[in-house]
Structure 1
Amino acid sequence: MMISPADLVAYLLGWNELVLRWLERDDRGEVVEFPETGFKWNQLGLLAQKFYADYQHLDWQNLLIRLAAVNHRLVETISSRTHDELYGSPWYGKWTKGRMIQFNTSSPYANARSRIRKWLKTVS
């Protein structure tokens, strides 16, 4: 399925904000529902659709500004944590907090890069 560059940015924005919410909930001692309340891991396509809808009101420039801001916040919060907090014990199943962050930030970026390449081939 071909999606727009704006949808790709919304997808990245959605994942970055979701990972931040996981960390904030965990910091407050609240239960973290993975991947998101109302979604299961086998419903990531539906979750992506939710992200597109959540940010469709933003124009291109504001999508980019918001993505840069959430990315900065995510880097800051990860940098403020110790290695032991990130990798010392399981957080979700067998996965540590650091691995869950990695899986759910770097994987969406890799997916987006692949989709951008496909999109560029169709518009070139």
Structure 2
Amino acid sequence: MPAATNRAGLLAVAEKEFKKLQTMISDIPDDLANRGFEDDWSIRDVILHRSHWIGLFFQWLEEGEAAQMPDHGVKWNQLKPYNAGLRERYADQSWQEAQERLADGHARLMAYLKTQDDAALYGGPMPGGTGWTTGRYAEAAGPSHYRSAAKFIRACLRAAEA
């Protein structure tokens, strides 16, 4: 799916992908949400991971030119151990808390996007970024992550039925 190129497209794809993910996870019981699947990642782990990355987007915005991407002391080629650390960091979060964190992150993202215009989102590279526009980073942190989470969850649900 091509990336959005304007605010209206970004808002639409963010809302569409979030609703699809929300519908998918709304009836998943705790035991299934907490069961380890691929590389022992659970559905809960993936939802917490996605909400964390929305928070990173806001961290990057706040830090501007001083932003350290993807996070302080972490390089892009270190994502696998970084993400593994996130599982440990959020290990005490319940399935309900994971869903709430994602919903809160999405609401924060949508509120921010609604205050921006096309120029702010797509007029040039995001300060501190690697060349993408702010809108593209927002899409990566939100709708693109929602889609990849949904793909993972569909595979988990198929595996659970087998």
Q: Do both share a fold (TM > 0.5)?
A: yes
Counterpart in the other structure of 1:107: 144
* Residue segments in structure 2 that go unaligned for 5+ positions in a row: 1-37
Residue 15 of structure 1, aligned match among 31, 43, 53: 53
Structure 2 length-normalised TM: 0.67
Greater per-residue strand proportion: 1
TM-score, normalising length: structure 1: 0.86
Larger Rg: 2
The alignment-based identity, stated in percent, is: 31
Shift of 1:12: 1.0
The root-mean-square deviation of aligned C-alpha atoms, in Å, is 1.7
Tell me how far apart the structure 1 counterparts of residues 50 and 130 of structure 2 sit (CA, whole Å): 24
The amino acid of 2:84's aligned partner reads Q
- 1:4 counterpart = 2:42: yes
Instruction: Give, in whole Å, the separation in 2 of the partners of 1:64 and 1:50.
Output: 20
2:99 is aligned with 1:61? no
Alignment length, in residue pairs? 121
Secondary structure of residue in 1 paired with 2:66: coil
Gap change, CA 1:76 and 1:100, over 3 Å in 2: same
Structure 2 partner of 1:41: 76
Whole-angstrom CA distance in 1 between matches of 2:79 and 2:144? 12
